[in-house]
Structure 1
């Protein structure tokens, strides 16, 4: 399925966080995810996980309603605050573009907070 401006936009982010700042980074990330889901109807899903035995290596799966929703997210005050506050904490960031194949979820239940 080719991505169009009106189709869901899905991307993966791979991050490496400074170990000395991991706790602070995680708190800011959780706040940003909660705000995005609560305030932005175009943000459909944000899931953040760390690699087992490598807690400073995080992966974030992001699903937006479309390209416009993604661009609005980047301009949102809470995202800009998160980016500014965490810029010195992130040692590496890689954004991976994807094509959705099958996207399904059961309800909107936060599994971990």
Structure 2
């Protein structure tokens, strides 16, 4: 019978090191960023420390809130004490029984007799 020679330890060590290097060389930490980045790079400072400027996000201006509106009384809702109100975009308008218009809520409406039903 022919006996096979045992593989030297150097061979196993070399294979082990190369597999380890191969596995850890493709980690996420070592993958470069794509060139399709939306941020722009400014080279005003030195080249070793580039400054990344992000585009500014502009908010739309808030729509102005009307102080007085005119609403048909059939679409207005009634509160528990009989007063009429109408809600628009999160703002509540109460009916003034003297002139028939709806006014944006404020604290003085509780004591004002013009906002109480007759």
Write 1 or 2 for the structure with the bigger share of strand: 1
Which is bigger in relative contact order (C-alpha 8 A, separation at least 6)? 1
TM range (shorter): under 0.3
What is the TM-score of this pair, normalised by structure 1? 0.24
Q: Which has the higher helix share?
A: 1
Q: TM-score, normalised by structure 2?
A: 0.24
